[in-house]
């Protein structure tokens, strides 16, 4: 299905969504407060149930964070990208690990490296770094004189 | 033909002529003791190297080939290394039991060497309950293993020892029943009598189908009894527990290690004696000329040849099959091997009574 | 390697497995809660080989960052580099010459076979049979020698560049690959005889570690682990890249979802890779092995995602570019990460021996997970 058709169906499903142009797949922007609801709707959509979350990450844009979710439908093979803007001072968002079970580890990694708090996550702990690490390394303002070498 | 009997009679005559009977007896004890320990050590060295070479051959590589020509001094180097290692005793371990355990296992291994006939007329103690003696004494090694597991003060050693103990006790039943099926044919527990009864052919050929089934069950059961793969769950590396001899190092570990190989030798020797004729050459019925030619090969070569063939078979198993899970292992014994061996025993009794063997 | 941490209130035992392992999985630390011999919970602790590749790549140019990925999943090094090169090419809009495409696919498929060989040997070793490891390495060494002649290295090949491949194939390449195909066809039946047909193996793997189709999709499992449960997810078929849409090969699917199904999927995949190599080895087109690109690459502002099928599953490379010479943010969606997340689900209620068998069939390579 082409991006235009997906856009029509999604705009009926999620009236508050905004769409970005340019890019291989359809980029949908959603508010943080509507995210969980929208995720449920996308997962249970009838024309294309987006049941495969294949990438969950975060990008630090110095003024705000953007959570990026890549979704895919195993029945119709469509891909979409969902972006949620988060406040940099207090990055919080509801977890989707009960909708897509694979998100559990992805969200722990994002918490570990960016500091985004996932509300209602079953087990939010650091994943890759040691438990007593201070700071969130993948943020752009992370300074570590010992481990980081500036060229 | 060359026979070790002449050597033993020579020594005995000389001793009784020179010394009073009691002193001659004491001398004979000492000589036999030294020979037993020498055999123990020599077998240990040879079997360790044989295992490594057989493993390498199956795995399409060469094995130890640096120490000495073709690697024959590798075992000596290993022994020197083990002697020089520090023997640590864990902190909360029961010191007496911890130190005693390897010696018990080693003593059992040596005691079982007694009734085995290595060559014609060449056995340490030709007791008239030979097979029963072997079966009984080898059960005592379970105590040594449990002692080692308990005294290590380590939950994983204890778990490994328990698993090992359960496995050995279960498989002893199958061993016993398959041994019994041959005793039914010979009518005597004396090892010398058993070998002599195979004068006109080995039992595995004379008592055809039931003996072959017995033999197969025997080989499987003794592989499990000696904790060898595919039943080496208690010593497995990529599973969790490292077995009852985790906490042992240095000479004590060497004793466990050697005792395992001697146990393999002994059970193969028993198998060779019962099923393949012991030191009896390969005779076919009443073909006098053929049997006469076979007799030219000395009896101890026959014995060791057969035993090492069975040892090779058991080593082959280790490098071919994967490991069984513990519940599958006990399943195999209690649900399959034991009923089959019981039925086989009944069939063999029928064969013996009716005379349906050669 | 194994120590007891403590008991929970109900009398369960908590023990560690790893991080040092006798098997070749890497530094994986599992904390297992046991009740007797039955597993109640498996918790992986990661990060022992976390090298912050994603952060490092933010200060490396587009030509440099490709080679950090060979160290991620070192068994599919070519395929990882391929993914990065494809993403950069997508951003630049470069057309890759036909010869380069064929060479890339050939290298990918050889790498896939080598990776599956090592998986097979290591898995048999985990289950207690030590001999298949040596048989597997006999074939793998042949592939490594082929790679060494052309690319210069045996493990981290660093052969792909944005635009094509770094240097042309060695003149001996075709003969060597044909000899390898002959050797492989002689020896593949050994694998079935020694391992697959062995009843002890079958009992250790059948019915163990069941993963249902819905659970596989929900956990994001890809690759042979998912195909063993009937999920059709081969990127080479669903979203073809390079010349895969012109090649004739099957996607191997099994429906049982247990360890034995995943095992059979990987064995059959090796045969499919052989088919692909056979179709290509005589038809390598002449031409350039590298498209002309600038010395310093700058991707336009935007986001680019490319996925490829590694030996373990779907690898995704997500580049966010601000128009500079270095990426603004790179995310590697590694297949092992999602495959690991289902380990807890499939081993609950089983025994410790089942955990070893399941972990073996998931084919985890820890540097891929930790990045």
d(CA A97, CA C160): 36
Residues 181-210 of C with CB under 8 A from B: 194, 198, 200-201, 203-204
d(CA B301, CA B145): 33
Of C24, C37, C131, which to mutate for an interface test with B (greatest number of B Cβ within 10 Å)?
A: C131
Task: Inspect the interface and report whether the beta carbons of A54 and C50 lie closer than 8 Å.
Answer: no
Task: Inspect the interface and report whether the beta carbons of A52 and C221 lie closer than 8 Å.
Answer: no
Domain boundaries, chain B: 87-354
CB C329 within 8 A of CB C58: yes
Q: Tell me: the pLDDT tens digits for C304-330?
A: 889 899 998 899 999 998 888 888 889
pLDDT number for residue B355: 80
CA A99 to chain centre: 13
Cβ partners under 8 Å of residue B54, min gap 6: B312, B315, B316, B319
Task: Identify the closest residue of chain C to B232 by CA–CA distance.
Answer: C128
Predicted confidence band at C2 (pLDDT cuts at 50, 70, 90)? very low
Relative to beta strand A26-30, strand A79-87 is: parallel
Q: Quick one: which of B221, B234, B227, B235 has its CA closest to B334?
A: B221
pLDDT number for residue C5: 53
What is the pLDDT of chain C when averaged over all its residues?
Answer: 86
d(CA C161, CA C109): 18
The whole-number average pLDDT for the span B148-161 is 79
Task: Inspect the interface and report whether the beta carbons of B320 and C129 lie closer than 8 Å.
Answer: yes
Task: Identify the closest residue of chain C to B229 by CA–CA distance.
Answer: C128
Q: Is residue A145 part of a domain?
A: no
Helix, strand and coil in chain B, % to nearest 5? 70, 0, 30
All residues of chain A having their beta carbon less than 8 Å from the beta carbon of residue C231 are: 74
Q: H helices of A14-72, where?
A: 35-44
CB B216 within 8 A of CB B291: no
C131 vs B230, B240, B320: nearest CB: B320
Question: Which residue(s) pair with C31 in the sheet?
Answer: C16, C43
CB A35 within 8 A of CB A93: yes
Inform me whether the C-beta atom of residue C356 falls under 8 Å from chain B C-beta atoms: yes
Q: Which residue has the tokens 């019962």?
A: B274
The whole-number average pLDDT for the span B122-149 is 85
Predicted confidence band at B311 (pLDDT cuts at 50, 70, 90)? very high
Say yes or no to pLDDT of B238 above 60.
Answer: no
pLDDT-above-90 percentage for chain B: 6
The whole-number average pLDDT for the span B297-305 is 84
Neighbours of chain A (3+ CB pairs under 8 A): C
A129 vs C47, C90, C320: nearest CB: C47
All residues of chain B having their beta carbon less than 8 Å from the beta carbon of residue C194 are: 320
| CA end-to-end distance (rounded Å), chain B | 28
d(CA B104, CA B102): 5
Of C225, C301, C316, C341, which to mutate for an interface test with A (greatest number of A Cβ within 10 Å)?
A: C341
Q: How distant, in Å, are the alpha carbons of C74, C106, C241, C295 from that of C101?
A: 22, 9, 10, 21
pLDDT number for residue B343: 92
Domain boundaries, chain C: 4-370
CB C142 within 8 A of CB C149: no
What is the pLDDT of chain B when averaged over all its residues?
Answer: 83
Task: Inspect the interface and report whether the beta carbons of C128 and B323 lie closer than 8 Å.
Answer: yes
The whole-number average pLDDT for the span B120-136 is 83
Task: Identify the closest residue of chain C to B320 by CA–CA distance.
Answer: C129
Looking at the complex, report in whole angstroms how far the Cα of residue B325 sits from the nearest Cα belonging to chain C: 6
pLDDT number for residue B346: 92
Inform me whether the C-beta atom of residue A1 falls under 8 Å from chain C C-beta atoms: no
Query: Which of left, alpha, beta for B282 (phi over 0: left; psi -120 to 50: alpha)?
Result: beta
Question: Which is higher by pLDDT, C91 or A48?
Answer: C91
ipTM tops 0.85:
yes
Q: Regarding the domain with residue range C4-370, which homologous superfamily does it belong to in the CATH classification?
A: Cytochrome-c3 Hydrogenase, chain B (1.10.645.10)
The whole-number average pLDDT for the span B223-252 is 73
Q: Is residue A32 part of a domain?
A: yes
pLDDT number for residue B236: 63
B238 vs C23, C201, C203: nearest CB: C23
Inform me whether the C-beta atom of residue C137 falls under 8 Å from chain A C-beta atoms: no
CB C209 within 8 A of CB C354: yes
pLDDT number for residue B289: 79
- Here the tokens at position B88 are 């640590």
Say yes or no to pLDDT of C24 above 60.
Answer: no
Of A99, A126, A127, which to mutate for an interface test with C (greatest number of C Cβ within 10 Å)?
A: A127
Say yes or no to pLDDT of B26 above 70.
Answer: yes
C131 vs B319, B326, B328: nearest CB: B319
Task: Inspect the interface and report whether the beta carbons of C128 and B328 lie closer than 8 Å.
Answer: no
Predicted confidence band at C23 (pLDDT cuts at 50, 70, 90)? low
pLDDT-above-90 percentage for chain C: 6
Task: Inspect the interface and report whether the beta carbons of B229 and C128 lie closer than 8 Å.
Answer: yes
Say yes or no to pLDDT of B240 above 60.
Answer: no
Say yes or no to pLDDT of C1 above 60.
Answer: no
Residues 39-68 of A with CB under 8 A from C: 51-55, 57, 59-60, 68
Say yes or no to pLDDT of A79 above 70.
Answer: yes
pLDDT number for residue B340: 92
Say yes or no to pLDDT of C371 above 80.
Answer: yes
The whole-number average pLDDT for the span C212-238 is 88
Predicted confidence band at A150 (pLDDT cuts at 50, 70, 90)? low
Task: Inspect the interface and report whether the beta carbons of C340 and A106 lie closer than 8 Å.
Answer: no
C353 vs B155, B239, B320: nearest CB: B239
Which CATH number do you get for residue A109?
3.30.460.80
Predicted confidence band at C6 (pLDDT cuts at 50, 70, 90)? low
Looking at the complex, report in whole angstroms how far the Cα of residue A126 sits from the nearest Cα belonging to chain C: 9
Q: Is residue A95 part of a domain?
A: yes
What's the number of domains chain A is made of?
Answer: 1
Flag the least confident range among B72-81, B324-333, C12-21: C12-21
Predicted confidence band at B242 (pLDDT cuts at 50, 70, 90)? low
Task: Return the number of other C-beta atoms located less than 10 Å from residue B5's C-beta.
Answer: 13
Predicted confidence band at B342 (pLDDT cuts at 50, 70, 90)? very high
Q: Tell me: the pLDDT tens digits for C131-182?
A: 888 888 888 999 999 989 888 888 888 888 888 888 888 888 889 999 999 9
Q: Tell me: the pLDDT tens digits for B33-89?
A: 888 888 888 888 889 888 888 988 888 888 888 887 877 888 888 888 888 888 777
pLDDT number for residue C3: 46
Task: Inspect the interface and report whether the beta carbons of C2 and B61 lie closer than 8 Å.
Answer: no
Of B55, B238, B243, B320, which to mutate for an interface test with C (greatest number of C Cβ within 10 Å)?
A: B238
CB B149 within 8 A of CB B244: yes
Task: Identify the closest residue of chain C to B325 by CA–CA distance.
Answer: C353
Task: Inspect the interface and report whether the beta carbons of C345 and A100 lie closer than 8 Å.
Answer: no
Q: Is residue A126 part of a domain?
A: no
C316 vs A54, A103, A105: nearest CB: A54
Task: Identify the closest residue of chain C to A128 by CA–CA distance.
Answer: C47
- Here the tokens at position C97 are 């010459």
All residues of chain C having their beta carbon less than 8 Å from the beta carbon of residue B328 are: 203-204
Task: Inspect the interface and report whether the beta carbons of C55 and A24 lie closer than 8 Å.
Answer: no
Chains B and C touch (3+ CB pairs under 8 A): yes
């Amino acid at each position: 299905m082409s991006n235009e058709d997906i856009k029509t169906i999604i705009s009926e499903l999620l009236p508050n969504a905004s769409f970005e142009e340019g890019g291989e797949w359809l980029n949908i922007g959603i508010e943080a407060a509507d995210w969980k609801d929208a995720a449920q709707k996308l997962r249970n959509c009838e024309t294309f149930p987006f049941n495969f979350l294949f990438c969950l990450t975060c990008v630090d844009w110095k003024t705000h964070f953007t959570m990026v979710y890549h979704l895919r439908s195993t029945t119709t093979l469509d891909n979409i990208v969902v972006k949620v803007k988060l406040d940099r001072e207090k990055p919080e968002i509801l977890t989707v690990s009960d909708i897509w079970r694979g998100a559990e580890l992805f969200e722990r990694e994002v918490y570990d490296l960016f500091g985004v708090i996932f509300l209602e996550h079953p087990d939010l702990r650091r994943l890759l770094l040691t438990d007593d690490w201070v700071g969130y390394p993948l943020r752009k303002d992370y300074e570590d004189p010992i481990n980081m070498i500036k060229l | 033909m060359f026979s070790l009997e002449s050597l033993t009679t020579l020594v005995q005559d000389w001793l009784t002529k020179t010394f009073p009977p009691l002193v001659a007896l004491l001398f004979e004890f000492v000589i036999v003791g030294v020979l037993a320990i020498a055999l123990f050590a020599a077998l240990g060295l040879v079997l360790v190297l044989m295992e490594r070479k057989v493993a390498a051959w199956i795995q399409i590589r060469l094995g130890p080939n640096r120490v000495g020509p073709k690697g024959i001094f590798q075992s000596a180097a290993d022994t020197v290394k083990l002697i020089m290692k520090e023997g640590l005793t864990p902190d909360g371990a029961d010191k007496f039991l911890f130190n005693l355990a390897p010696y018990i296992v080693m003593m059992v291994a040596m005691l079982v060497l007694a009734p085995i006939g290595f060559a014609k007329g060449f056995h340490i103690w030709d007791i008239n309950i030979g097979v029963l003696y072997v079966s009984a004494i080898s059960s005592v090694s379970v105590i040594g293993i449990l002692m080692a597991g308990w005294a290590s003060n380590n939950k994983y050693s204890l778990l490994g020892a328990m698993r090992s103990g359960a496995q050995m006790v279960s498989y002893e039943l199958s061993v016993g029943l398959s041994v019994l099926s041959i005793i039914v044919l010979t009518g005597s527990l004396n090892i010398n009598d058993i070998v002599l009864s195979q004068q006109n052919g080995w039992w595995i050929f004379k008592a055809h189908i039931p003996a072959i089934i017995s033999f197969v069950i025997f080989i499987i059961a003794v592989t499990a009894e000696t904790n060898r793969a595919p039943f080496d769950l208690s010593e497995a590396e990529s599973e969790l527990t490292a077995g009852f001899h985790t906490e042992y190092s240095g000479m004590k570990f060497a004793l466990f290690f050697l005792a395992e190989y001697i146990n393999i030798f002994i059970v193969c020797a028993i198998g060779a004696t019962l099923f393949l004729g012991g030191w009896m050459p390969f005779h076919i019925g009443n073909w006098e000329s053929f049997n006469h030619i076979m007799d030219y090969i000395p009896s101890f070569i026959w014995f060791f040849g057969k035993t090492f063939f069975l040892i090779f078979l058991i080593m082959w198993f280790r490098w071919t099959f994967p490991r069984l899970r513990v519940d599958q292992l006990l399943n195999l014994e209690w649900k399959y091997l034991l009923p089959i061996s019981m039925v086989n025993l009944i069939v063999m009794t029928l064969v013996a009574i009716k005379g349906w063997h050669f | 390697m194994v120590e007891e941490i403590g008991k929970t209130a109900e009398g369960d035992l908590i023990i560690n497995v790893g991080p040092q392992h006798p098997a070749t999985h890497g530094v994986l630390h599992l904390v297992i809660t046991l009740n007797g011999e039955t597993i109640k919970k498996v918790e992986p602790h990661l990060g022992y080989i976390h090298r912050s590749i994603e952060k490092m790549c933010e200060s490396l140019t587009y030509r440099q960052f490709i080679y950090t990925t060979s160290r991620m999943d070192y068994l599919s090094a070519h395929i990882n580099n391929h993914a990065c090169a494809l993403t950069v090419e997508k951003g630049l809009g470069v057309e890759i010459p036909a010869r380069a495409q064929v060479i890339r696919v050939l290298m990918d498929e050889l790498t896939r076979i080598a990776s599956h060989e090592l998986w097979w040997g290591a898995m048999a070793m985990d289950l207690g049979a030590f001999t298949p490891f040596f048989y597997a390495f006999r074939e793998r060494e042949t592939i490594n020698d082929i790679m060494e002649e052309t690319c210069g290295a045996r493990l981290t090949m660093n052969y792909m560049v944005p635009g094509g491949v770094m240097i042309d194939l060695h003149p001996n390449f075709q003969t060597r690959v044909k000899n390898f195909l002959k050797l492989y066809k002689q020896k593949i039946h050994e694998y079935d005889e020694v391992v697959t047909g062995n009843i002890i193996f079958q009992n250790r793997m059948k019915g163990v570690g069941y993963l249902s189709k819905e659970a596989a999709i929900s956990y994001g499992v890809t690759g042979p682990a998912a195909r063993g449960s009937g999920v059709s997810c081969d990127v080479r078929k669903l979203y073809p890249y390079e010349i895969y849409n012109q090649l004739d090969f099957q996607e191997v699917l099994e429906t049982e979802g247990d360890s034995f199904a995943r095992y059979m999927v990987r064995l059959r995949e090796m045969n499919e890779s052989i088919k692909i190599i056979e179709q290509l080895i005589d038809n390598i087109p002449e031409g350039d092995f590298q498209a002309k690109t600038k010395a310093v690459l700058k991707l336009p502002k935007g986001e680019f995602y490319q996925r490829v099928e590694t030996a373990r599953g779907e690898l995704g490379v997500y580049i966010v570019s601000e128009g500079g010479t270095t990426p603004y943010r790179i995310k590697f969606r590694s297949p092992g990460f999602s495959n690991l997340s289902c380990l807890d689900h499939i081993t609950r209620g089983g025994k410790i021996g089942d955990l070893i068998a399941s972990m073996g069939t998931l084919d985890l390579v820890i540097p891929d997970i930790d990045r």
